[in-house]
Structure 1
Amino acid sequence: MHNLRVEVEKVTQRFKTSIALIMSLLIGIFAVSANPGHTYASVDVGAKSAILVDAESGKILFEKEADLTLPPASMTKMMTEYLVMEAVEEGKISWDQKTPVSQYAFDISANPEFSGVGLRLDEQYTVRELYEAMAINSDNATTIALAELVAGTEGEFVKMMNAKAEEMGLPDYEFVNATGLNNNHLGDNYPEGTDPDATNMMSAKSAALLAYHLTNDYPEALEVSSKPTLEFADQTVTNWNWMLPGMPGQNLKQFEYEGMDGLKTGYTELAGNTFTGTAERDGQRFISVVMKSESRSSRFNQTRTLLDYGFNQFTRQELLAAGETVEDQDSLSVTKGKEDAVAIETSEALSTLLKSGEQEEYEVEFVISEDQLNEDGELVAPVEKGQKIGTAKLVYTGDESYGNLVKEEGQTVDIVTSEAVEKANWFMLMLGGIGEFFSDIFTGAVDMVKGWF
């Protein structure tokens, strides 16, 4: 089934896999016939910058100028959401904890230019109320109130934002406030340590990685972001994510998208229209980001294009089963053991999100660990069952690779022994040694005789 090329000690073993070839082909044919507007080659997205990512593995499926650093607007709040979730998890605050709002937060809430739920100075709000208003209605004042609660001041919270971004490995970012507004919108209240005219900056790749961490570390965030509306202080406020199923108003039905449950919209004059979207169908979740889109509606249409491309063109497939042995290379030699060989196998299955038409663009690379073998390339008994003796890696050999957000591209699993091999007793080892001794004498004698002639 597999064409394997074996190499030991820095030499790799590769073999082509053809598992699920026919099924992949059928799925690809169906996807193309059902969605003739999508091609294998590209995705037509009008936004200045865009990216599509597998939410499970971090594999990048498509990108367009995804490293451009642009203002993310309210997509900034994804980092605030993460830090609030983390503070709750660590017991620093609780969902039912009540807090007053500062004059600064109240002034932002009272400003009609900013999205707000109308906070009152003479009232206290729970962390849950503030978080939901931030995540659902993109409320700026509740975001500030949460930042002040977690860190004392927004300036200290900004330090936490940048530290967490570095910890996450975001490639391109600068956080200057908790909301995504421009600092000059905040008047004299811009966070200490930042420039009064600064704005948050982030690439689409960084936004996707931030969303990856938020949805994987705190999936409960999606329980909030998926709500079309929120009841807050005797009023109903609406989610800015028009793609959510169940949004009120017939004019929004055209944007509804199956499986959509997050994550964050954004808009300022400087940033334009931005959107980090995520949707799940049949256990498969994708994360998309569009930045600098032309209009509110276009950011959703472009997101639909990206997500359709993901759902229609990619399927998760197992290319090598766990415990599978390889033809002509299913064992390793063993010395000083009761058996002279041991079977080897993969500890886990190798799988990937496979694009239609690329079922032959993958190889499995076997690498046997040099430190597990003696100078003759043998394992030395005793050998334990399940002993790791190398790794197997899935390698993409095609032309269209965008890499991975969180790790080196290609799944890697252990190669292990299928059974144990006990060390031979002293008598058998002695006989073996005697045999080797006389074998060496015989070989030497034969060589000597050959030399005479």
Structure 2
Amino acid sequence: MKKWLISILSALLIFSSGFGTIIAQADDTQPEINASAALAIDATTGQILYEKNAKQVLPIASISKILAVSVILDEIQAGKISWDTKVTISPEIAAVSADTALSNIVLNQGQQYTVKQLVHAALIKSADGATLALSTMNGDTVTSFNKKMQAKAKAIGVDDAKIYNAVGLQNSDLDTLKVPGMADSVENEMSATDVAKISQYVIKHYPAVLKITATKSEMFDTTTMDNLNEMLPGNASAMTNYTTDGLKTGTSDAAGQSFVGTGTYKGHRIITVILHANDTSRYTQTANLVNYVIGKYIPTTVDSSTSFAKATTVTVPNGKTVKLKTQFTGKMTLWLSTGTSVQNLSHKFLYKSALKDKNGKLTAPIKKNQTVGQVSLSGDNMTFIDGTGAKISLKAKAADAQANIFVRGWRAVFGY
């Protein structure tokens, strides 16, 4: 079964079920996510909001294009290419782009297209030919670009991905471009955690990508490209109080209906991953996942205005002020279970090395507004995709000079 057939069946399923516009509802029950793997995280902190088989490595089909585009964006940023760089279409790429069984925009052999055109085609229409054209520009081959993708994935923190091409097709689908020495049946595989990490990287480092993935329709030469993401505002599977603006679908026999999405709820961005929705719409499962997150958690902003005395009062044994008041700097979102507040969280101070004594204690002098380190906040079942905790910086609200030698001596004997 080819991509177009699966997409048609998906559309029929939505239509026949009377699906219409999805409403985000508060629901604190554990969701039945009908997919082989699923994950939801906060896009900034990586806080895990839901996971199911999130470490299982599975086929991802065209979701691969997010990683491929990230390599291209790195090269643009490094000045190796530009958005206006022209890419000449080879006979092999033209042949792939003309295959109507794949997701494609037809590219004419010998014609030149800009990097911008091809990136937009890859992300909006999931065009295989356009993505392969990007991956083989400037003398790269499918194999050499694979190495770039593998290196990029590793740099992001993805170690278990299986990458064979930039588009997520089976090796045999690439015909003369397929990777030699590999079975025809191999295709790209990642875990839901891997997909979320790569998506988080792209959103953080290249946020302008979301303007592309949020584009519902765009012209490619004389061809209209309609975005494949049915959860964009105004589309059949859009939600009413959750605004989707990305990110990428993936469809194949092995990957089934897969989708990595991103959107905002009350200004807070999350990333969702659905891998292999089982005989149901990927968008229905994404909506179920979002509804669960909205029902279970309250997105809570932690910033300089947050009152949390235990986590903002630091001990300076050799300072004139032993209990020094600090405040959070910067801003982050923590998704807290209903009925939980920031003050219920545990905390751990992580002082800057230059401000610690030999015993690891904070030491004076400290200047007003000086950053003294970070505080790590944690709670029951609060985990993060990178394995660390939620960290926010602390700065001193007032200066703290060193106490005199007699006071320090007294404290050394009798405590402080």
Instruction: Give me the TM-score of the superposition, normalised by structure 1.
Output: 0.75
| Candidates 291, 305, 317, aligned match of 2:300 | 317
Q: CA deviation at 1:80?
A: 0.9
Q: Does 2:164 match 1:186?
A: no
Q: Distance in 2 between matches of 1:111 and 1:350?
A: 46
Native 8 Å contact 1:324 1:345 kept in 2: no
> 1:35 maps to which residue?
25
The answer to whether structure 1 residue 420 and structure 2 residue 380 are counterparts is no
Equivalent residue number for residue 325 of structure 2: 344
* Residue number among 368, 385, 400 corresponding to 1:405 in the alignment: 385
- Work out the CA distance in 1 between the residues paired with 2:305 and 2:86: 51
Tell me the distance in 1 between the aligned counterparts of 2:63 and 2:72. Answer: 15
Go from structure 1 to structure 2 and tell me whether the alpha carbon gap of 1:151 and 1:84 turns closer, same or farther (over 3 Å shift). farther
Closer, same or farther in 2 for the Cα pair 1:63/1:96, shift >3 Å?
Answer: same
Shift of 1:193: 6.4
Rounded to whole Å, the distance in 2 between the matches of 1:331 and 1:155 is 54
Conservation of the 8 A alpha-carbon contact between 2:55 and 2:193: yes
> What is the Cα deviation at residue 124 of structure 1?
1.1
Q: Does 1:268 align with 2:256?
A: no
Structure 2 partner of 1:305: 288
Q: Does 1:105 align with 2:93?
A: yes
Q: Paired residue for 1:68, among 34, 50, 56?
A: 56
Residue 144 of structure 1 pairs with residue 132 of structure 2: yes
**C-alpha separation in 2, matches of 1:126 and 1:323:** 48
Aligned to 2:275: 291
Point out the structure with max Rg over C-alpha. 1
Shift of 1:154: 1.6
How far apart, CA to CA, are the structure 2 residues paired with 1:146 and 1:351?
36
- Tell me, what secondary structure is at the counterpart of 1:188? helix
- Length-normalised TM-score, structure 2: 0.81
Shift of 1:264: 0.5
Q: 1:287 to 1:107 in 2, by over 3 A?
A: same
Asked if 2 retains the 8 angstrom alpha-carbon contact of 1:333 and 1:342, the reply is yes
Counterpart secondary structure, 1:219: coil
Q: How many residues align?
A: 382
Offset from partner CA, 1:279-303 (integer Å, 9 cap, x none):
12332111101111134x6100001
> Residues 375-414 of structure 1 correspond to what in structure 2 (within 5 A)?
382-386=365-369, 391-396=374-379, 398=380, 400-401=381-382, 403-414=383-394
CA 1:143/1:345 → structure 2, altered by over 3 Å: closer, same or farther?
Answer: same
Contact residue 347 and residue 416 of structure 1 kept, 8 A: no
Q: How far is 1:199 from its partner?
A: 1.2
Question: Is this contact kept in 1: 2:328–2:392, CA < 8 A?
Answer: no
Q: Secondary structure at the match of 2:299?
A: strand
* Amino acid in structure 1 at the alignment position of 2:160: D
Amino acid paired to 2:390:
G
With over 3 angstroms needed to count, the CA separation of the structure-2 counterparts of 1:150 and 1:226, relative to structure 1, is farther
Q: Identify the range of structure 1 (159-168 vs 113-122) with the bigger mean alpha-carbon deviation.
A: 113-122
Q: Distance in 2 between matches of 1:332 and 1:265?
A: 51
Once residues 379 and 233 of structure 1 are traced to their aligned partners in structure 2, the CA distance between those partners, rounded to angstroms, is: 62
Q: Give ranges in structure 1 of 5+ residues lacking alignment.
A: 1-33, 248-252, 441-453
Q: 1:341 to 1:94 in 2, by over 3 A?
A: closer
Identity %: 27
User: Does 347-356 or 222-231 show the bigger shift?
Assistant: 347-356
The answer (yes or no) to whether the contact 2:30–2:292 under 8 Å persists in 1 is: no
User: Aligned with 2:175: secondary structure?
Assistant: helix
The RMSD of aligned alpha carbons is 3.3
Residues 153-206 of structure 1, C-alpha deviations (whole Å, 9 max, x = no match): 121100000010111001431111011101011223213565443211101111
Tell me the CA shift for residue 416 of structure 1: 4.3
Corresponding residue number in structure 1 for 2:213:
225
Distance 1:340 1:121 in 2: 74
Question: Partners of 2:85 and 2:361 in 1: how far apart?
Answer: 63
Structure 1 residues 138-217: aligned runs within 5 Å: 138-149=126-137, 152-192=140-180, 194-217=182-205
Deviation at 1:394, TM superposition (A): 1.3
Q: Is it true that 1:357 corresponds to 2:339 in the alignment?
A: yes
Unaligned runs of 5+ in 2: 1-23
Partner amino acid for 1:343?
A: L
Q: Contact 1:325–1:345 at 8 Å: present in 2 too? A: no
What displacement does 1:415 show?
Answer: 6.7
Following superposition, the deviation at residue 316 of structure 1 comes to 2.9
User: Secondary structure of the equivalent of 1:230?
Assistant: strand
Residue 411 of structure 1 aligns to a residue in which SS?
Answer: strand
Q: Which amino acid aligns with 1:83?
A: V
Residue in 2 that maps onto 1:446: none
